[in-house]
Each structure stands twice: as C-alpha cells, then as structure tokens.
Amino acid sequence: MLLLGSRFDNLAGVARVPRIADIPQQLSPKAFWDLFGRLEHAELDFKRGVPADIRDTIAAMAMTHGGLIVHGVDDRRVIVGCPLSQNTQDRITRIATECGVDVQLLALTVGDLELTVCAVPEIRGRIVTTPDGRLLRRVGGDSQPLRGDAMARFVRDREHRAGEDEPLAIVDLLAFDLAAVNQALAADGRPAVTADGIERALTDLGVAVPAAPPLKSRV
C-alpha cells in the first residue's frame, strides 16, 4: 500500500500546521521556518506583536479549521520576538474570550528570541463572531466576512453539525491519577505507563481522541 504523507499534502496545496503539543520549545531559525513555512494560509498567521486585529483572526480560524497564530514575526518574515509575558498572555486570552474561544499558548524560543504561539480550535455546533458581531472565515491568509446568502448557508450548515466533538482547549493531564490510569490499562491488557505516557494511554483507552492540529488531545 502506498502511503501519502505530508510532502504529498504540500504538493497538493493542502496546508498543515503541527499540534501545539508537538512543537519543540526551542528551535533554530532554520528549523522554525522548516516547521511553519513562510506563507500564511487558512491555518497559519504571523503577527509582530499582539495587535487588536487578532480578534478577527481568532474568530475566523474558529469558524474554519482552527489554526496557529505566531506572535513575534513581522510582515517581512523577520523574527523579532514576542515573549509570553503576563501582559501578552492576558491580552491574547482577553481578546479570545471576547470572541467566545478558548485558546492554548506556548512559549517558543527561536535562536535567541522568544515567540508566543497561540493555538485556536475549530468551533463546531455554534457560531463564533467578533465582539462587534461580524462572522468571518479564513480564505488563504486573510480573514474575510460572510454576507448575504453565503452567511445564511453557513449558519444553516452549522445548525446541523453536532457540538459534542468540539475540542476542549486545555486538558490538565496532571489531574489524572496515574495509578488509576495504569489499572485501567491493565484491565485492558495494556502495559503500564509513566506520567509522560498518560496522554497516549488516554487515547488508547478511548478516553481521549487525537485532535486535529493545532490542539492537544481532547478528553
């Protein structure tokens, strides 16, 4: 059987972003560009800092396929840095909350500079708008509004989609009792795991399912 991997996806024009849990916390500049690429697309957006217009990006990504916003890269694709400080965290979280979206944040060091990566989940079963009521979707690297018949069709489609598969943005694996997890694994005929293996164990047991990029597994 021929397996078509990510290189085929790239040739076919299908953009991919990694799950936030799979992004190393430190990368060289070359490894960073190899991982993310230099072109923005529906699931990737670069920001120099934390501008107010990320509310458009968050709302649009949530209504498309989710995605990653990398803070600390300017429009010329120069890595300028945007550390995950308390102010950065509070500002991104506040803007995301205004849109009704839970996001995940990651501090990523590239060379000598720290960047902030924001993972936006795809929201299903409900409508997400900007605080001023605009319904946006990602089209390439832009966040574009839906109007008229296009908006009506989109809303009708969302009304028929179940919300139960909507991923939880934050899962604290430390909340799971390792002994209880290993007991469940033993009952299922599986080997015990250490704390580092809880996420995979929950997936194997059917308690969690692998989320599509960019989120961690959801429970």
- Condensed to tens digits (0 to 9), the pLDDT of residues 134-172 reads 999 999 999 999 988 888 888 877 766 555 455 555 456
Comparison of pLDDT for 7 and 141, the residue scoring more: 141
* The 67-71 sheet, strands edge to edge: 26-27, 104-110, 113-120, 67-71, 44-47
pTM, two decimal places: 0.71
For residue range 83-101, list pLDDT tens digits in order: 999 999 999 999 999 999 9
Domains of the chain listed by start with CATH number: 7-159 (3.30.950.30), 171-219 (no CATH)
pLDDT of residue 214: 67
The pLDDT assigned to 12 comes to 37
pLDDT bracket for residue 173 (50, 70, 90):
low
In the structure, what pLDDT confidence band is assigned to residue 11 with cuts at 50, 70 and 90? very low
Q: Does the pLDDT of residue 80 top 90, yes or no?
A: yes
Average pLDDT score over residue span 100-118: 97
Query: What is the arithmetic mean of pLDDT over 76-84?
Result: 97
Q: What is the pLDDT of residue 10?
A: 38
| Residue predicted with more confidence, 45 or 14 | 45
